[in-house]
Each structure stands twice: as structure tokens, then as C-alpha cells.
A and B are shown apart, each in its own frame.
Chain A
Amino acid sequence: AQSVTQLDSQVPVFEEAPVELRCNYSSSVSVYLFWYVQYPNQGLQLLLKYLSGSTLVESINGFEAEFNKSQTSFHLRKPSVHISDTAEYFCAVTRTSGTYKYIFGTGTRLKVLA
């Protein structure tokens, strides 16, 4: 079975400061990894994903995440955050084959302060 841990439930950070949102996963089989973002009163939107290839993946709005197989991590980073990045961020995993199951972490609420 797979599991996802997001240790930080809330992360406050000042505007233009860097941020890292941590995600660790556990799985006995190969997985694909995702970050989704949820803005207030909206559904989730895909931010970025790792399927294969380069372990560093980037989004169009400046976020990046690095897949680290040895540490079973997929941390999300941004070098300079904006007020509009205030949202809840969810890490998720799914197996690369076999029975479908999409497992979400408990989420990290990022609050960007002026």
C-alpha cells in the first residue's frame, strides 16, 4: 500500500521569501507523484507531476519539485512567493501499474504574508 505524509499543516511565509513544502511517501512499488493546489473555495488543480525522466519538474508559475527516490521525497519549492500563492497544497501518489489508487496527503496550507 502507498501512503503520503505532509508534516507541515500550515506554513506562513513573507512575500518574496523562499518556501519549501515537504512531502514524503511510502510505497513498495513504483509510483508517480503529483502536487495539486487548491485555492479558497475551489476544487484542486494539478500543479506539477513526476512520471519519469528528469527528477526535477517545474510548473508554469515558478514552483518546482524534485523526486528523490532514496529519501522517498517529493518536496515542493519556490524561490520567491507571491500573495497569490496563498492556497492549500496537496501531494499525491499513484502506482505506475496495476489496481488504480490515488492517495493524497493531508495538505499544507501556505499563507503568504505582506
Chain B
Amino acid sequence: NAGVTQTPKFQVLKTGQSMTLQCAQDMNHNSMYWYRQDPGMGLRLIYYSASEGTTDKGEVPNGYNVSRLNKREFSLRLESAAPSQTSVYFCASSVAVLSYEQYFGPGTRLTVT
């Protein structure tokens, strides 16, 4: 099992460009999440999907959109990147929203210039 995979690992964007971060899990988990990690701020939830076909906002959803493509895949889209979106993005999954343990991907390091 690969667990949770994320692509790309690194990305540099110019302000105003768009991109999609991809996430896939092979553990048959129902719930998936997107976080951003910034120095001194820990992890903050951007969006989550409790189950296939549903998505909900987390703490910091502005400037992002998500798509739960199927049970395995959950993508995060930046429509018009801004320097404030420079961060490390983590995707995670869990059996269910209330199953407590989350499994994290290796992260995507995004720089917006």
C-alpha cells in the first residue's frame, strides 16, 4: 500500500496563476482532508470531505476549491494564486470523520512569487 500520495512535491507559481494539487489514498478511507502548514501556526484545515460526494469548509477556505473526484481522490485547486498561499500543503485521510486517526501524505511545497 502506498498510503496517501500527493503530486507534485514542489511547485513554484507566479501570482495569478492557477494550479491543482492532487491527492489519492489506497486505504479505502471515507474521509479526506486538506491542510496547510505555516511556520509558527501549525496545521490549519482548508477543506474536508466526510464521504464521497460531500465537501465542507475548514478554518481557512478562502482562495481554494476542492473536488472529491471519487472515493480515492481529493484535489485542491488554487484559481488565482497569491503570495499568501505560499505554504506546505498536506492531504490526509481517515476511515471516517470521527475515526480519529488521520494518515498524512508527504506534502506539497508551494511557493507563489
One digit per residue, 1 when the CB lies within 8 angstroms of any chain B CB and 0 when it does not, for chain A 1-15 equals 000100001000000
Please determine whether A102 and B102 come into contact, CB atoms closer than 8 angstroms. Answer: yes
Which residues of B53-96 are within 8 A (CB) of A?
58, 90, 92
C-alpha gap A97/B100 in the complex (Å): 11
Interface size class of chain B, counting residues whose CB lies under 8 Å from the partner chain: 20 to 34
C-alpha gap A41/B43 in the complex (Å): 15
Interface residue? A63 (CB, 8 A): no
Measured CB to CB, the closest approach of chain A to B88, in angstroms, equals 10
Which residues of B4-31 are within 8 A (CB) of A?
4
Q: How many residues of A contact B (CB 8 A)?
A: 22
Stretch of A53-61, A64-72, A79-87, A104-112 on the interface side: A104-112
- Given contacts A43-B90, A106-B42, A107-B42, whether A100 and B97 have CB atoms under 8 Å apart is yes
Q: Select A49's contact among B97, B101, B105, beta carbons within 8 Å.
A: B101
Measured CB to CB, the closest approach of chain B to A41, in angstroms, equals 8
Please determine whether A90 and B43 come into contact, CB atoms closer than 8 angstroms. Answer: yes
Please determine whether B40 and A43 come into contact, CB atoms closer than 8 angstroms. Answer: no
Q: Select A106's contact among B40, B100, B101, beta carbons within 8 Å.
A: B40
